[in-house]
A and B are shown apart, each in its own frame.
Chain A
Amino acid sequence: MSDSTRIPPRFRAPSALTWVLVVGFAAFFIQGLVASEISLDRLVRGASNLVRFIGQAVPPDFSRAPNIADAMLETLNIAVVGVTFGCLFSIPLALLAARNTAPNAVVRTLARFVISVSRTIPDLIWALIFVVTVGLGPLAGILAIIMDTIGFAARFYSERFEEVQKGPSEALTSTGAGRLSVIFGAILPESFASMTATSLFSVEKAIRSAVTLGLVGAGGIGVELSTAMRLFRYDQAAAIILVILVVVVVFEQISSSIRKRII
């Protein structure tokens, strides 16, 4: 048997770079474990505290149900309004960012930059920024959700636009259709199902975000939750957490059943 037909090994030996990365990661991991001062003692105390928390949280206190309902409604308002504007703004932004629809490289780079900034900054930090700029309350939450949605939806929309088949767009171009007509006639219809799925994911994501935004004062049920926790009213907190759980699960179910239908 000649050298060229030698049976290749099943696995290739990892490169030096791989070794460096693996060792580096392991070192960082161990340093992290040590730094967080994990000890059996603390875990045991934590467990008993958890039991105490649960003891005080059960049965949940629903006496403030109307307030909770109001706050939950506000949370849903924040999520729905924010995600709607977020998805709407995402469409033009994604068109400017996708290789096959961007008017030129400068605009495309700029659009990509805007999208990646909105994605890189976490929703809670957006909320903090908007609480400072527009004040406490739901408006800050809505703006935070808009930014968070753009980072997510615009990115996936633009990836979808880039994946569409070239043929139908070319066929439209060959009829003398302009750039916008090609987008509306071929690219958007081809992307519609995927965009709807992405938008529904954005709704789920926005509802989860909107719940926590209240913790920094951006409106919604998070405010109620953090107040209850700070006042050690764990039974009220438990009621709020239960409501959140039910609402989030219901929304995810609705959204996933819609998604299944359109795909």
Chain B
Amino acid sequence: MIPAISCDEVKVSYGKLQVLRGVTFDIPVGQGVVLLGANGCGKSTLMRSLNGLETLQSGRIHVHGDSLADASRSELRRIRRGMGYVFQQFNLVPQLSAFQNVLLGAMGRHRLGLLSCLGITASAEERARAMACLERVGMAERAQHRPSQLSGGQQQRVAIARMLMQDPKVVIADEPIASLDPKAGREVLDLLWRIVREEGLSMLCTLHQLDLAREYADRIIGLKAGQVEIDAAIADTDALQLNALYTGMTRVDAEAEEHAA
């Protein structure tokens, strides 16, 4: 079966800084993977690469068998449509209501979403779907609120509703709860993971909380200095092994050592 995401020797560099040094892994359809790693290990770069937001130095990324590198602009858009992205900073449009923000999730399907984004020309069916998505994340009553009137946890719920509106097959969640307090964070993670399970989606989610990672993930991939250090089913990992991801050499240290050699 074709994996949901497949990375093969992915390398990315910013100028001289080698951020990803040959990352290889597959995520089978329906699997929920947590990506762990210290700040600066290349997690975010990897996430952005999966969405085609970064240019690879070498290696290949396939999403449901489609190669990102070979995709034309319109093909890349089609691939992105099947991939929901949840951001640490929610990235809602501040001037639009929660409802309008959720409608934006359908923008990828429109060629020119001038008015549909504001809910003016969006079909009744589409508006009903947006409300259903808000309902699903428990935000239906706040549909007319702007992001500034919502708490961080509520904003992330709206962002998850926007992701649902997009109707993706794969979810990329880049530190979805890093800006939330522990209680809201757990609620949001609970919601996100429940939705992913119910819809049978595949997910790659970065987290900084080892205990949460072990609680939710099917599998853990640990990134260290731009390389895969751990890739194991949740039962095969122990806390000591995971903690080791955050100790010792960081990428910057590794760079320095390389230069010295």
Contacts and interface: CB of A to CB of B under 8 A. Distances in A.
Main secondary structure of the interface of A (DSSP, over half): helix
Given A170-B53, A180-B112, A175 B93 contact: no
B245 interface: no
B47 to A, nearest CB: 10
B95 A189 contact: yes
A175 to B, nearest CB: 4
Interface residues of B, number: 36
A92 B76 CA distance: 26
A8 interface: no
- The interface centre, meaning the residue of A176, A186, A189 with most chain B CB atoms within 10 A of its CB, is A176
Given A168-B92, A168-B93, A170-B53, A177 B112 contact: no
Nearest to B118: A189
Interface in A143-178: 165, 167-168, 170-178
A193 interface: yes
A174 B117 contact: no
B77 A176 contact: yes
Given A184-B112, A185-B117, A190-B95, A175 B87 contact: no
A176 B81 contact: yes
B64 to A, nearest CB: 14
B113 interface: yes
Given A181-B112, A184-B113, A184-B114, A173 B53 contact: yes
- The interface centre, meaning the residue of B77, B91, B93, B118 with most chain A CB atoms within 10 A of its CB, is B93
B74 to A, nearest CB: 8
B199 to A, nearest CB: 16
B108 A175 contact: yes
B189 interface: no
Contacts of B105: 175
Given A167-B87, A168-B93, A171-B85, A178 B118 contact: no
B91 A181 contact: no
B104 A172 contact: yes
A176 B85 contact: no
A148 B222 CA distance: 59
Nearest to B90: A167
Given A168-B93, A189-B96, A176 B104 contact: no
Given A185-B107, A189-B96, A174 B83 contact: yes
B188 to A, nearest CB: 16
B250 interface: no
A138 to B, nearest CB: 33
Contacts of A180: 111-114
3 closest cross-chain pairs (CB), A and B: A176-B108, A176-B81, A176-B80
